[in-house]
Every structure is written in structure tokens, then in C-alpha cells.
């Protein structure tokens, strides 16, 4: 039988099994078979020798702002509100356009693939342009169009954004890579009326809701002052969690709020690096696990992180949670890898399609080189993934059964052009920043 790709002799991180040397047959974008001696059985158009490589499901990034890639390192070492209002919002005001987002998103998507991310769940504007860039480079994406009360980007009001989401949902309905979502920015930028409209639209179209919530103590205090309720209680008071919701950050959450999230099958996107850098908070996530709340990993934008390494997120999250709980046994390596893969798939309600290496699932697979000083010796691949490796060791990336990165070179895009474009925008943005 003819197939598209055969990955042979890799150390396969297969769902619910111990890592073992095996092979994977891929065709029509899907995993056809996992096992030994597949080479004799199938006639593959492409054979990838994965000797000395970990073969695992691609990482799923559940909270990003991919088109903020050109704002990486623009302003650092500031509190969240000052960073947003004095730096990020002014440059966005000046530069955001369809063309800018298309270019910046392409750069961001390239950076994601270099970090082994095969699916990302985004929150930004001009989703159509981000979708075009994602399709061009070959990455899977759930694109949350940002909803705010104030005029933003090319929208005069939230109703225009809702109409746009409808249009995009139709346009990309048949796309194998792109889904749209409704992404109210936060409870301090989006009033009750628009939050309800956002929820209703998501329920009607059967798409995801994606929101920043309880990122800082101040946000919680302001919410209590205004509504008498904590943020999760406030959203719950008008049925927001009836939808499929991914909550980004969710640092300042109490017991009752955790119960609400658990009851509603709401997922959390942990953004450890961004939260650490902005000193947004250092709360324990252990109780989420005790309450059965699904956890996943987000990178947030590169403007606040400032990289897109899921390997780094896993490492920081695990270590920070151990330190906070004074317990080195929590968030062990295997669990962290599951949070970064199948946890993300659950959060995006795509568990039946992605998040693990299983027959019948889409072939979103990454290959990581362990034949180097830093990776040897290796007793346990999970341990290496969380505590030893870096994204540099991720060599090949397959998404939807297609190779999009081969030996660290992107396949569908000229990397030189991306670098030149980033330099061009850096000059323009730096000039504006200077004048300001």
C-alpha cells in the first residue's frame, strides 16, 4: 500500500504507553499505523529516519498573540498596565493594519514551528490575515478575534467584530487547519452586554470562547468593587461558562471559582513566563488539578514573554509550582508533557483529532534530536523534555501529515525574507517609539 510518510526507528511518545522504539505510517494527513516493521508493509513517498530522535505529538499553545511578533523586546521590565497603555497600545494604534498583521503573523507562525508548536489558539485582530499566514506556512490555528467595547483596529464597535467572526467562520469552515473563535479581551475592556453577545455567538456557531481573566490582583479587586463578585463568579452570573471557554492566566482564583470552572469543564491556559515577567502573580495551580480543571500551556505574546518555547514553559511551570507548594513531587515531567499536548487538545475541544500519537488522529508530530552532548545520557524522555532539552533540538515538524520543518529549516517559506521583513519593521517601530 502506498502512503505519504513513514517515520522509522524513533523513540515514540505514544499515548498511554511507555516510550519505545517504533515506526509511524502517515497518509492523508492522518496516523495510519504505529508499530514495528512497517517499512516492509508500506511503500512510502517519504521515509524519515528518526534514529536517535524523540517522536512526539506537537505542542499545543493555547494562549498567544501571534501577530505581536514585531513587538518582541520593544518594552520590558514594566507593570502590566503601564506596559500596555504606554507602549503596546500606542504602537498598535499606529501600526495595526491588515498588511502588518499578515507579515507579523507569518513571522510568529514561523517562530511557533521552530519551537515545536503545531497548533496555537490566538487572540488578536485581522484574523483573516493571520489565517492566510498560518495556511501558507502550514500550522494549525484557532483564531480568536478580539472583542472590546472601544473602537479597535478596523472595527468601530463590537457588533462589527461579531459580524466579522461570522463571516470568517463561514470562509474557513472547510479549512483543515483554521478555526475561528470569539475572544473577549478581558472583563475590564469588555462590558456585560458584549460578553453575553460573545457567549451567545460562540454557542450558536459551536466555536470556542477565549478570554484573559484574573491576571492581576488589581483586576480582581476592581471587579469586586464594581459587581460585588469575583471575576469567575461575575462571568458565571450570566452563564458565560455555558460556552466552551479557555481562560488565559487565571492566577487569582479562589475555591468557589475553581468549583465553577470545574463544573463547567472550563480549561485554563497557564502562562508562567509572561506572569513571572510582568509579576502578575505566583499562585499555586495544584488545586486546579485537585478540582479536575483541565490545564494547558500558553506562551502569551512575544511582547510579554519574550519567546515561544513550550519546553521553557514546561520547565518553569513545573519548577515554580514545586517551589510554591514546597513539594518537589507535584507537576512531574510526564504530567507537564501531557499538559502541553493532550491538555491543549482538550482545551480546544480537539481531543479526538490532535494532542497525542494515536491511530486515526491527525499527524501533528515533532522530532527531537537526542544525539548530542546536552541530551546524553537519556534515561527518561519525559525528564529530558521538561528539564534538559531546548527548542534548538527540535529538528522536524509535521502538521496535518505534511512536513513543515526539515532539519530546522522551514519548508514552505523563505526564512531570509522573514528576517529582512522583521528588520524593516523594527526600524519603523523604533523610529516611532523614539519620536514618542
x-or-dash string of contact with Zn ion, 242-281, rule CB under 5 A: ----------------------------------------
**Distance of closest approach, residue 175 Cβ to Zn ion, in angstroms:** 24
Separation of CA 126 from chain center = 18
Contacting range for Zn ion; rule: CB under 5 A; set: 158-166, 220-228, 292-300, 350-358:
292-300
Q: Which is nearer to Zn ion, 4 or 300 (CB)?
A: 300
Contact between residue 339 and residue 386 where contact means Cβ atoms under 8 Å apart? no
Integer Cα distance of 220 and 187 in angstroms: 10
Contact between residue 130 and residue 160 where contact means Cβ atoms under 8 Å apart? no
Contact between residue 342 and residue 15 where contact means Cβ atoms under 8 Å apart? yes
**Distance of closest approach, residue 153 Cβ to Zn ion, in angstroms:** 16
Contacting range for Zn ion; rule: CB under 5 A; set: 74-82, 299-307, 361-369, 400-408:
299-307
Q: Angle between the 158-171 and 192-205 helix axes, to the nearest 10 degrees?
A: 10
Contacting range for Zn ion; rule: CB under 5 A; set: 52-60, 69-77, 298-306, 308-316:
298-306
**Distance of closest approach, residue 271 Cβ to Zn ion, in angstroms:** 7
Integer Cα distance of 218 and 278 in angstroms: 13
- 158: which residues sit within 8 A by CB, 6+ positions away? 147, 148, 149, 190, 194, 197, 198
Q: Say how many C-beta atoms besides its own lie within 10 A of residue 282's C-beta.
A: 13
* Residue 219 makes contact with Zn ion by CB under 5 A: no
* Residue 300 makes contact with Zn ion by CB under 5 A: yes
**Distance of closest approach, residue 129 Cβ to Zn ion, in angstroms:** 19
Q: What string of DSSP letters covers 385-435? A: HHHT--GGGEEEEEETTEEEEETTEESSS-HHHHHHHHHHHHHHHHHHHHH
**Distance of closest approach, residue 242 Cβ to Zn ion, in angstroms:** 23
Q: Which is nearer to Zn ion, 14 or 300 (CB)?
A: 300
**Distance of closest approach, residue 67 Cβ to Zn ion, in angstroms:** 12
Residues in the interface with Zn ion (CB under 5 A) total: 1
Which residues are registered as beta bridge partners of 406? 409
**Distance of closest approach, residue 182 Cβ to Zn ion, in angstroms:** 15
Q: Which is nearer to Zn ion, 269 or 394 (CB)?
A: 269
Q: Which is nearer to Zn ion, 219 or 300 (CB)?
A: 300
Q: Give per-residue burial for 167-195: e unless 16+ CB within 10 Å, then b.
A: ebbeebeeeebbbbbbbbbbbbbbeeebb
Q: Which is nearer to Zn ion, 27 or 280 (CB)?
A: 280
Which residues are registered as beta bridge partners of 183? 146
Contacting range for Zn ion; rule: CB under 5 A; set: 101-109, 190-198, 236-244, 293-301:
293-301
Q: Which is nearer to Zn ion, 215 or 369 (CB)?
A: 215
**Distance of closest approach, residue 36 Cβ to Zn ion, in angstroms:** 44
Q: What string of DSSP letters covers 28-40? A: TTEEEEEES-HHH
* Residue 215 makes contact with Zn ion by CB under 5 A: no
Contacting range for Zn ion; rule: CB under 5 A; set: 33-41, 47-55, 66-74, 297-305:
297-305
**Distance of closest approach, residue 249 Cβ to Zn ion, in angstroms:** 7
Contact between residue 388 and residue 316 where contact means Cβ atoms under 8 Å apart? no
Contacting range for Zn ion; rule: CB under 5 A; set: 144-152, 165-173, 189-197, 300-308:
300-308
257 sits in the region (left: phi over 0; alpha: psi -120 to 50; else beta) called alpha
Binding residues for Zn ion (CB under 5 A)? 300
Amino acid at each position: 500500500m502506498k502512503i505519504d510518510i513513514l517515520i522509522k526507528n524513533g523513540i515514540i511518545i505514544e499515548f498511554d504507553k511507555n516510550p519505545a522504539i517504533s515506526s509511524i505510517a502517515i497518509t492523508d494527513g492522518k496516523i495510519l499505523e504505529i508499530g514495528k516493521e512497517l517499512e516492509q508493509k508500506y511503500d512510502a513517498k517519504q521515509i524519515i529516519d528518526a534514529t536517535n530522535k524523540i517522536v512526539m505529538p506537537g505542542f499545543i499553545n493555547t494562549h498567544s498573540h501571534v501577530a505581536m511578533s514585531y513587538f518582541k523586546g520593544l518594552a520590558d521590565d514594566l507593570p502590566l498596565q503601564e506596559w500596555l497603555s504606554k507602549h503596546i497600545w500606542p504602537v498598535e494604534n499606529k501600526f495595526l493594519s491588515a498588511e502588518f498583521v499578515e507579515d507579523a503573523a507569518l513571522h510568529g507562525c514561523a517562530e511557533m514551528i521552530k519551537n515545536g508548536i503545531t497548533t496555537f489558539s490566538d487572540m488578536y485582530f485581522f484574523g483573516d490575515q493571520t489565517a492566510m499566514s498560518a495556511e501558507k506556512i502550514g500550522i494549525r490555528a484557532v483564531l480568536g478575534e478580539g472583542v472590546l467595547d472601544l473602537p479597535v483596529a478596523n472595527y468601530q464597535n463590537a457588533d462589527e467584530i461579531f459580524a466579522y467572526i461570522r463571516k470568517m467562520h463561514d470562509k474557513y469552515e472547510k479549512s483543515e487547519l483554521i478555526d475561528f473563535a470569539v475572544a473577549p479581551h478581558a472583563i475590564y475592556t469588555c462590558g456585560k452586554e458584549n460578553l453575553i453577545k460573545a457567549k451567545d455567538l460562540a454557542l450558536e456557531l459551536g466555536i470556542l470562547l477565549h478570554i484573559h481573566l484574573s491576571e492581576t490582583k488589581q483586576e480582581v479587586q476592581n471587579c469586586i468593587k464594581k459587581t460585588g463578585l469575583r471575576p469567575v463568579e461575575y462571568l458565571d452570573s450570566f452563564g458565560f461558562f455555558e460556552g466552551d471557554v479557555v481562560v488565559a492566566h487565571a492566577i487569582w482564583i479562589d475555591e468557589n471559582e475553581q468549583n465553577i470552572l470545574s463544573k463547567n469543564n472550563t480549561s485554563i491556559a497557564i502562562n508562567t513566563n509572561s506572569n513571572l515577567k510582568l509579576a502578575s502573580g505566583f499562585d499555586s495551580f495544584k488545586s486546579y488539578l485537585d478540582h479536575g480543571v483541565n490545564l494547558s500551556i500558553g506562551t502569551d505574546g512575544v511582547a510579554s514573554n519574550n519567546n515561544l518555547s513550550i519546553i521553557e514553559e514546561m520547565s518553569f511551570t513545573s519548577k515554580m509550582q514545586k517551589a510554591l507548594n514546597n513539594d518537589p513531587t507535584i507537576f512531574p515531567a510526564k504530567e507537564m508533557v501531557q499538559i502541553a499536548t493532550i491538555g491543549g487538545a482538550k482545551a480546544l475541544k480537539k481531543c479526538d483529532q490532535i494532542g497525542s500519537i494515536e491511530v486515526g488522529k491527525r499527524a501533528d508530530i515533532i522530532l527531537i534530536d537526542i544525539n548530542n552532548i546536552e541530551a546524553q545520557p537519556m534515561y527518561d524522555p519525559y525528564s529530558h523534555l521538561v528539564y534538559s532539552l531546548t527548542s534548538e533540538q527540535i529538528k522536524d515538524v509535521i502538521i496535518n501529515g505534511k512536513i513543515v520543518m526539515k532539519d530546522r529549516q522551514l519548508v514552505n517559506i523563505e526564512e531570509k525574507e522573514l528576517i529582512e521583513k522583521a528588520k524593516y519593521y523594527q526600524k519603523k517601530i523604533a523610529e516611532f517609539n523614539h519620536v514618542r
